[in-house]
Structure 1
Amino acid sequence: MWSQTTDKQRNLERKKEQILTEIKAVQQLLKTEKTKERNVLSEIQDQNHKIKLSQDLIRNGQQQIALINRDVEKNQAEVAVLEKELKALKEDYAKTIVKSYKSRSSQSRIMFVLSSENFAQAYKRVQYMKQYANYRKKQGDEVREKSDALAVVIKSLEEKKVRQNVLLREAEVQKKNLEAERTKQQGLMALIQKDQRKYNDQIKKKRTETAAIDKQIQQLIREAIAEANRKAREAREAAAKAAGKKTGEKVVESSKGSNTAVFELTPEGKVVANSFKANQGRLPWPVSKGYISLRYGDQPHPVQKHLTIHNSGVEISTVVGTRARSVFQGEVLQVQVLSGNNKAVLIQHGDYITVYQNLSDVYVKKGDKVTLKQEIGVVNTNASGQTVLKFLLSHNTTIHNPQSWLSGSN
């Protein structure tokens, strides 16, 4: 039980450090945005995330305090039991000492032995005195052990109370910070309310652009699958022709068209696909730092809750100059300019494809073999100072929630 409590405490401490690191990252992003052209919508979105992190931090502190409270109660009960046992041992030991004091004379002990009626009785009396001396020693040892145990528990109790007070003070600071963040958020929302139409138009425009890019990505995936299958089929036919020349057999060329929905995998491709699938939930993030600012799927807009948006992947906010990296070994299928500085890299992993959008510079080209965590490009930073990577994952043409594939992001 003690081990489980300690493990829970350690896990909470680790989670607390992660939250604090993420809060620091969001704070850095907010500062960057304020030095650029102000984008109220993105500022509110980051502020929302910071508020959520502050709430998580408060909950984390409450859980730690609850654990410590249980430990304190347990220690207090243990102290009460030990004090009671120690008191009884001391009283018993005191009686033994008094009795021993009264018969402390060595002459009395000798006379006690010599007054025996026979040798057997004398032997028994000598053994009794030895046992009595051992009993006294054992009592003394027990008193010392109980005293030491009590001192350890009291010290542990005092340390827990100190930690408890630290956490309570931290909780007060966190609550004040949360109130300050909410006040900032209300000010930002007031700006939105002043020009509701303008911001709604911005959101709708972004939604339309996103839908168009999603459609473009889907088309790129289908084209990439068709091209990969065509090349694989040509390679097989070339190999068959070469084999036919050696044996004199006639080879009939396939007239089958390229399937745009499913990869026709080689045995090696199947191994890569199985390995990729086996790493679901353990893939590294496509950037070294950042947080998920927009999750996968249909959801209320983070600012205008009455508007629903669809996200085909996850958007990860990070810092200026961050490089995107491959989440698994594979081969570059496509490098495509989607719009302006929004370049996309598609990487094949068997019959899985990972897509890295919103890159300003790209370090790889079509056909390149990439390794795990290899840098493939720089994430674009817009005029408002936002640096956001959009990451998608598909199995053939079926889009999956990439968040469930990334390590520590559930």
Structure 2
Amino acid sequence: MRQTKATYIIFIICVFMGSVFAQAQSDKQKQLEARRLQLKKEMEQLNSLLFANKKKEKNVITLVEDLNYKVSVRKNLIKVTNDQANLLTRDINNNQKQISDLRDQLKELKEQYAAMIVKSYKNKSQLSRVMFLMSSTNFKQAYKRLQYIKQYSDYQKQQGEEIKAKTAKLQKLNTELLKQKEDKQKLVEENRIAKRELEAELKEHEVLMASIRSNMTKYNAQLKQKQKESDRIDKEIDRLIKEAIAASNKKAGKSKNSSAFALTPEAKALAATFEANKGKLPWPVVRGIVKMRFGKQPSAIDKTVTVNSKGVRIATEKGAKVRAVFDGEVSQIIAIPNANPVIIVRHGNYMTVYRNLSKIYVNKGDKVTAKQDLGEVFTNNSTGETLLYFRVYKDAKLENPAHWINKL
């Protein structure tokens, strides 16, 4: 009896663990599918925003940067698709094992059921049942025999229902198995195409890099010039932010040397709300991809050179509107000689910076709301590129925009 009970408990534990494992597999599959679709969407946007207009003459450096980004997305997509196919393989193997086990169980159940039917047929006459009851030595024995007949009949029905349930489960598993095999085949084919495209992109990248290596002095000079221009704009932005901090402290009667804003109760409340929405803020453009992320990273041209990005560079579509990521006040509109305009929006002691604009829709001092259009992103007519440079500051300190913007 104890052994039977122990066996039953072990069976229940195995069923429970199997259920938990199956659910974990299902959840993982959903996560991978969501990530795969996200990467496919990113690839579509990338092709649309960076590679659609082939008539435009991009310089080699820009082409290498774009190809680097495309290759990295393609590699991620291949990896995720491969992981998904491998997980499906495990699911298929698991289902095949379940199908095999169910078939064995069904065979045994049907044999037992057939034996019961034969036995019932042999003893089916009402007379034999009556004689079985009447031959009892006392009432108690007769009652027990009656209960036995009822239990036997119920057990027959139960066996029949179990056969029906297991047959239905077997059919469902067979259907799932066919679907899983189809899904896996689609993923394998998708990866085969993606790998061919990756090979072509890597060859194109190598050709471009060969042309750069043959004249590295020229391209290094171009990079230095671009960095010099960027540094000039950065210094002006930093200067104006420090001036705004000093002005807020002077107005509050505090030291002008403070590196933090002196906040009014209203500004404190706005900053607190901004902080509460960390990671949930909308993108500064409706449609775009991040070409360069925040922080130190190797140069696309020379891996020994480190680039320190103070914000993110977002490629978007021609005519794209730039929008405020949160409620605030237009602190500055910067017109820098030989550069495109910059808008700074203040949110308490936080600042968001929108650089490389062609049109401005707001004025200094204007109150703005989240997703309100501030202007239009500049499009380089010779290359066809539309790039927004976006930053987040807390007082005078730079923040990683990816920590603030939803799914950046």
Map Cα deviations across residues 279-326 of structure 1 (whole Å, 9 max, x no partner): 222222211121221122232211222333222111111121111111
Structure 1 residue 401 corresponds to structure 2 residue 400? yes
Range with bigger deviation, 363-372 or 316-325:
316-325
- In the superposition, the TM-score normalised over structure 1's length comes to 0.88
The CA deviation at 1:330 is 0.7
Structure 1 residue 379 corresponds to structure 2 residue 377? yes
Instruction: Specify the alignment match of 1:297 in structure 2.
Output: 295
Instruction: Specify the alignment match of 1:320 in structure 2.
Output: 318
Q: Could you tell me which of 130, 153, 163 is aligned with 1:143?
A: 163
2:248/2:263 contact within 8 Å kept: no
Identical-pair percentage: 42
Instruction: Give 3-state SS (helix, strand or coil) of 2:282's partner.
Output: coil
Instruction: Give 3-state SS (helix, strand or coil) of 2:286's partner.
Output: coil
Structure 1 residue 98 corresponds to structure 2 residue 128? no
The CA deviation at 1:117 is 5.7
2:50/2:315 contact within 8 Å kept: no
Q: Could you tell me which of 277, 280, 284 is aligned with 1:279?
A: 277
Distance, in Å, in 2 between the alignment partners of 1:29 and 1:390 is 16
Distance, in Å, in 2 between the alignment partners of 1:391 and 1:202 is 23
Distance, in Å, in 1 between the alignment partners of 2:135 and 2:399 is 97
> Which amino acid in the other structure matches residue 265 of structure 1?
L
2:278/2:405 contact within 8 Å kept: yes
Instruction: Specify the alignment match of 1:189 in structure 2.
Output: 209
Distance, in Å, in 1 between the alignment partners of 2:57 and 2:140 is 106
Q: Could you tell me which of 148, 160, 173 is aligned with 1:128?
A: 148
> Which amino acid in the other structure matches residue 236 of structure 2?
Q
Distance, in Å, in 1 between the alignment partners of 2:144 and 2:271 is 84
Distance, in Å, in 1 between the alignment partners of 2:143 and 2:243 is 104
Distance, in Å, in 2 between the alignment partners of 1:127 and 1:402 is 75
Distance, in Å, in 1 between the alignment partners of 2:37 and 2:122 is 65
The CA deviation at 1:135 is 2.2
Instruction: Specify the alignment match of 2:347 in structure 1.
Output: 349
Range with bigger deviation, 125-134 or 172-181:
125-134
> Which amino acid in the other structure matches residue 400 of structure 1?
E
Distance, in Å, in 2 between the alignment partners of 1:196 and 1:148 is 69
Distance, in Å, in 2 between the alignment partners of 1:120 and 1:257 is 102
Q: Could you tell me which of 193, 198, 207 is aligned with 2:218?
A: 198
The CA deviation at 1:52 is 0.6
Map Cα deviations across residues 239-259 of structure 1 (whole Å, 9 max, x no partner): xxxxxxxxxxxxxxx6x6644
**Unpaired runs of 5+ in structure 1?**
234-253
Instruction: Give 3-state SS (helix, strand or coil) of 2:341's partner.
Output: strand
2:354/2:388 contact within 8 Å kept: yes
Distance, in Å, in 1 between the alignment partners of 2:322 and 2:258 is 27
Instruction: Give 3-state SS (helix, strand or coil) of 2:51's partner.
Output: helix
Number of equivalent positions: 387
Q: RMSD over aligned Cα, in angstroms? A: 2.2
Instruction: Specify the alignment match of 2:388 in structure 1.
Output: 389
**Unpaired runs of 5+ in structure 2?**
1-19
Q: Please list, as runs of the form range in 1=range in 2, the aligned pairs for 1:42-121 lying within 5 A after superposition.
A: 42-114=62-134
Q: Compared with structure 1, are the counterparts of its residues 339 and 10 closer, same or farther at alpha carbon in structure 2 (3 Å cutoff)? A: farther
Distance, in Å, in 2 between the alignment partners of 1:299 and 1:126 is 84
1:33/1:39 contact within 8 Å kept: no
Q: Compared with structure 1, are the counterparts of its residues 118 and 227 closer, same or farther at alpha carbon in structure 2 (3 Å cutoff)? A: closer
Instruction: Give 3-state SS (helix, strand or coil) of 2:344's partner.
Output: strand
Instruction: Specify the alignment match of 2:17 in structure 1.
Output: none
Map Cα deviations across residues 337-380 of structure 1 (whole Å, 9 max, x no partner): 12445110011111111111101111111100111111111111
Range with bigger deviation, 61-70 or 87-96:
61-70
Instruction: Specify the alignment match of 1:5 in structure 2.
Output: 25
Distance, in Å, in 1 between the alignment partners of 2:285 and 2:308 is 22
Instruction: Give 3-state SS (helix, strand or coil) of 2:104's partner.
Output: helix
The CA deviation at 1:381 is 1.0
Distance, in Å, in 1 between the alignment partners of 2:54 and 2:211 is 15
> Which amino acid in the other structure matches residue 54 of structure 1?
R
1:33/1:43 contact within 8 Å kept: no
Distance, in Å, in 2 between the alignment partners of 1:11 and 1:117 is 69
Distance, in Å, in 2 between the alignment partners of 1:385 and 1:354 is 26
> Which amino acid in the other structure matches residue 42 of structure 2?
E
Range with bigger deviation, 74-83 or 387-396:
74-83
- In the superposition, the TM-score normalised over structure 2's length comes to 0.88
Instruction: Specify the alignment match of 1:242 in structure 2.
Output: none
Instruction: Specify the alignment match of 1:38 in structure 2.
Output: 58
Q: Compared with structure 1, are the counterparts of its residues 135 and 298 closer, same or farther at alpha carbon in structure 2 (3 Å cutoff)? A: closer
1:223/1:260 contact within 8 Å kept: no
Distance, in Å, in 2 between the alignment partners of 1:170 and 1:62 is 10
Distance, in Å, in 1 between the alignment partners of 2:294 and 2:143 is 89
The CA deviation at 1:390 is 0.7
Map Cα deviations across residues 179-236 of structure 1 (whole Å, 9 max, x no partner): 1211221222233234332222111100111111111111111122233444x44xxx
Range with bigger deviation, 348-357 or 1-10:
1-10
